[in-house]
Amino acid sequence: MPRRRSGDHPPDLPPDHFIRTIDELGRVVVPVEFRRRLGLTDGSPLEMFVDGDAIYLAPYREGCLFCGGDLDFGRFRGKPLCRSCAEELVRLDSEGAHSG
Ligand SMILES: [Zn+2]
């Protein structure tokens, strides 16, 4: 079977799928089309995990410490917080509902 050169697109592969080779240090290049589409630049953090025999990669977007939601509130004492949880914390405090 002839070796595939970079630039060749295997006919059995969907057009938006790519084959990349892992180098001797375990690195792989994310295609520029993917980086552009997802707004990834140098230093962008990626979240990765293994599921079965596949590796998944996604842009890492930090979420709220409590619910994982969007960081539409910002940070409180350095911890990520969403507006909904921030409002809930304020309500709990005003109701005097301190548990423990
Ligand atoms: Zn939250």
Task: Work out the percent of the chain whose per-residue pLDDT is above 90.
Answer: 52
Closest of 50, 51, 76, 57 to residue 65, by C-alpha: 76
| Ligand 1 centroid – CA 48 distance (Å) | 23
| Ligand 1 centroid – CA 99 distance (Å) | 19
pLDDT, one tens digit per residue, over 56-83 is 999 988 889 999 898 888 888 888 999 9
| Ligand 1 centroid – CA 94 distance (Å) | 18
Q: Distance from first CA to last CA of the chain, Å, rounded?
A: 68
Amino acid at position 11, single letter:
P
Beta carbons of 85 and 74 less than 8 angstroms apart: no
| Ligand 1 centroid – CA 97 distance (Å) | 18
Q: Read off the pTM.
A: 0.58
| Ligand 1 centroid – CA 93 distance (Å) | 16
| Ligand 1 centroid – CA 41 distance (Å) | 27
